[in-house]
Structure 1
């Protein structure tokens, strides 16, 4: 690759790391935000919850939008939105405004992620595998060091620093992207030549609205009912409305010409459905620990943000170290053995959380984190390989989009699970219950992986 290609790759890498960095840094900030705004754990968990809901919707939407407006335009616009949100979020007069700016930040970073990989694939024509592996290091590295980075920043300068730290990354990415990303070619059907109806059909605006409003209505009322300790008539009505809207969404997507989420793809390729289901459960497990353990350390064991970040670094480092080794193993043996080992490690790690107590030595916490870190490193490669094996080549782009959506569903469910189990106060007893639930989910993954491996061998 020439120098310009390297600079283009760095500009994209600095942009796409913003999403995983911001989603992971906040895990250490939950107790501080809870104290700052005088909120219970369920309420403050919306700082996590809102980010992933917005990302789950925004990334496939912005991928579609790039066909109308161009990838370079979407990438640069996303950086500007992320910059503005990062400046305004620390100035929020209340927690509600902080959630609003957090959602705006998620939309901005999702715009960057949605087109970043495509920009590299289109404009770097040689050694693409090397380029994509470097970008993967940006994203996985950001997620790995996020809790440590966040812990150090919060310890030194308070929770607002995890927003301000985005400014140098956004600025550097914007300057480099402006200079290195080639201008977009005029699309075959420019947005300004489409009628309002054509534009809405192309973007599937009704599907986007049904999915977003239905999901928020359903999940918000589940959290609200748990937080208040009782189920009100309003909770029931809003929850039922969410279910109805999601049902209508499914019917709409099955008949739409350009669906927001092409559900027929799942019906046509059952193996692809199972891969996405397993990926969702994997992320449910991983992010339940990723977000739950920092709160356990700080609220139950009274560990500082700084030392919590250091402990969480063991999870990220194990994941980073194992990923390249997993790639070589999976090249030789296929993804199934790695998926089984990963599920077993998650089972052991979840069971280990159940037997932890406030006086357990620190090394016990590190062992649980290491188990989940190694399993995450295996899954990063194994699940992607399983996706490619299960998906026909002619729909690999759609499959990759659905794969990302499955990741966000898993993270959303992890936030919901923690909120329901913990309720108003994060407690040691609640953490044990969480560990039991995660152990059951991990065991189901072991059986799913084993069954699919046996089926593959029979075929």
Structure 2
């Protein structure tokens, strides 16, 4: 069978340039649908509520349930990738994704819609988990460049999703959004043909540990999205049991030594804070453009579209810079872009929507830079046999950060403010609180940059 490293070397050596291009194209294609599937349905939530006469708290499960399963699934598939072939896991994941999409299209009631979304998430999570592992496993010499392409695909999907979702839901019906996602079914035969053949590796999956961490993560996400005290107590309880399990099991789901790795731990936490700010921004911008600028859903999507396209274009350069300048330098560049974007948004908040569409580009293009660089650090500071679970933890924290950022920003925006923190801002009325939140994001990003710098410096 050979060692894990020998199998990876054989995979790299056996792939031709044409085969590598096919794998990258396939991976990015399914990733596009996976990410788009989340953003499209956020736009369609009001239509789903009207279709079934639902309260906001009821219809929110279309998004919340999906996020929970998606986040947990990313961790689970990441761990399984350390043992089982990527081709097998992707076949299972894509099949579940397509099955959930078909169930959703024919859903006769709201219960089936939720069931369809959960099935979708259980499959779609395999895509985001495994696509981030593909560069490390098959293209170690071009890892940064490929991660840049992957990150730019995610940025493009995040931007185009609301536009497509609004158009399809408006022109046809929200159920046709499920039909769009079902098209991933046609990619399965190509993955079976083009993905390298791998053997099952040594190791076992600690099922009890997996269940405990799944309940713990679900509890924390529910607490973040609902601020219900029982969920944080449940999360602490299950995480305590999980901590006990990883120190007593012969084959722990996550080896405790992983958390003793300072660069890994620093990157996970710093990446978490960065994604909190980025998703807080993405959550806040549509609300701001609707409340302050009075834009419709379609025009909000069109206003943010240039930023998403710029992020998609810059993803390639994020990968090139990561390969040539080093991942840590690219992280600092991402922090700088985020700060520039937040300063401009705080200053020009309340201006014409086309000005917002231009200045938001700085913040949007930071997304592929921070994601490419942090993923590259994790793939280099961990042993190859632990990259799968490491990436799984990375994705889990990213999704938790997204939920946390949206929830916290949503709570802050409930308050009003008459004091403008940015002396250069002309914000008035309701625009003041938005301007001040951007100032808060600036401060958080600066503190995050200092933490990242000194943690690596002290470790060296």
- State the TM-score, normalizing by the size of structure 1: 0.77
Structure 1 49/452 Cα, relative in aligned 2: closer, same or farther at 3 Å? same
The equivalent of 2:298 in structure 1 is: 306
1:264 corresponds to 2:264: no
Residues 95/423 of structure 1: CA separation in 2 closer, same or farther (3 Å cut): farther
1:41-60 equivalences in 2 (<5 Å): 44-60=59-75
Given that 1:16 and 1:113 are in contact with CA atoms closer than 8 Å, whether structure 2 keeps it comes out as yes
Distance between the aligned counterparts of 1:447 and 1:126, measured in 2? 30
In structure 2, relative to structure 1, the CA distance for the partners of 1:43 and 1:366 (3 Å cut) is: farther
Matches within 5 A, 1:304-453: 304-354=296-346, 359-388=350-379, 390-391=381-382, 395-421=386-412, 431=434, 434-435=437-438, 437-452=440-455
In the alignment, what sits opposite 1:176? 190
Hey, what does 1:281 align to over in structure 2? 273
Greater mean alpha carbon deviation, residues 322-331 or residues 103-112: 322-331
**For residues 52 and 123 of structure 2, what CA distance do their matches in structure 1 show?**
25
Relative to structure 1, the CA distance from residue 453 to residue 374 in structure 2 (aligned partners, 3 Å threshold; closer, same or farther) is farther
Matched, 1:217 2:219: yes
Residue pairs, 1:79-158, within 5 angstroms: 79-92=94-107, 95=110, 97-116=112-131, 138-158=153-173
| Deviation, structure 1 residue 421 | 4.0
Question: How far apart, CA to CA, are the structure 2 residues paired with 1:322 and 1:14?
Answer: 18
C-alpha contact 1:27 1:294 (8 A) present in aligned 2: no
Distance 1:126 1:68 in 2: 22
Deviates more, 1:50-59 or 1:115-124: 115-124
Alignment partners' CA distance in 2, 1:126 and 1:385: 12
> Is the CA contact (8 Å cut-off) linking 1:148 and 1:309 kept in structure 2?
yes
For residues 57-87 of structure 1, the C-alpha deviation after alignment (integer angstroms, 9 at most, x for no partner) is: 2123234445776543332222221112112
The structural deviation recorded for 1:373 is 1.3
> Deviation at 1:392?
5.5
Q: How far did residue 90 of structure 1 move?
A: 4.2
* SS in structure 1 of the partner of residue 252 of structure 2: coil
Aligned-pair distance for 1:176?
A: 2.3
The aligned residue for residue 194 of structure 1 is none
User: Does the CA-based 8 Å contact 2:129-2:391 persist in structure 1?
Assistant: no
Residue aligning to 1:232: none
1:45–1:415 Cα contact (<8 Å) kept: no
Kindly indicate whether the alpha-carbon contact (under 8 Å) linking 2:79 and 2:392 is maintained by their aligned counterparts in 1: no
* Pair 1:125–1:416, CA change in 2 (3 A): closer
Segment of structure 1 superposing worse, 49-58 or 69-78: 69-78
Residue 388 of structure 1: how far off its partner (Å): 4.8
Counterpart Cα distance in 2 of 1:178 and 1:394:
23
Unmatched segments (≥5 aa) in structure 2: 1-15, 416-429
Deviations 1:218-247 (A, max 9, x none): 44355445xxxxxxxxx5445423322222
Aligned pair in 2 of structure 1 residues 184, 454: CA closer, same or farther (>3 Å)?
closer
Check conservation: 2:147, 2:376, Cα contact below 8 A.
no
Q: CA deviation at 1:273?
A: 0.8
Aligned to 1:192: none
Aligned length: 431
In structure 2, the residue corresponding to 1:203 is in which secondary structure? coil
Q: Residue in 1 aligned with 2:418?
A: none
State whether residues 28 and 308 of structure 1, in contact with CA within 8 Å, keep that contact through their aligned partners in structure 2: no
Match of 2:182 among 144, 164, 167: 167
- In 2, distance between residues paired with 1:188 and 1:48? 35
Q: Is this contact kept in 2: 1:31–1:298, CA < 8 A?
A: no
Query: 1:236 and 1:345, CA in 2 relative to 1: closer, same or farther beyond 3 A?
Result: same
Q: Are the equivalent residues in 1 in contact too, given 2:77–2:126 (CA < 8 A)? A: yes
Distance 1:113 1:328, change over 3 A: closer
Maintained 8 Å contact 1:51/1:106: yes
Go from structure 1 to structure 2 and tell me whether the alpha carbon gap of 1:253 and 1:174 turns closer, same or farther (over 3 Å shift). Answer: same
Q: Which moved more, 1:30-39 or 1:345-354?
A: 30-39
Aligned partners of 2:149, 2:373: CA distance in 1, in Å? 18
The 8 Å contact of residues 28 and 309 in structure 1, kept in 2 or not, is answered as no
Q: Any gaps of 5 or more consecutive residues in structure 1?
A: 190-200, 226-234
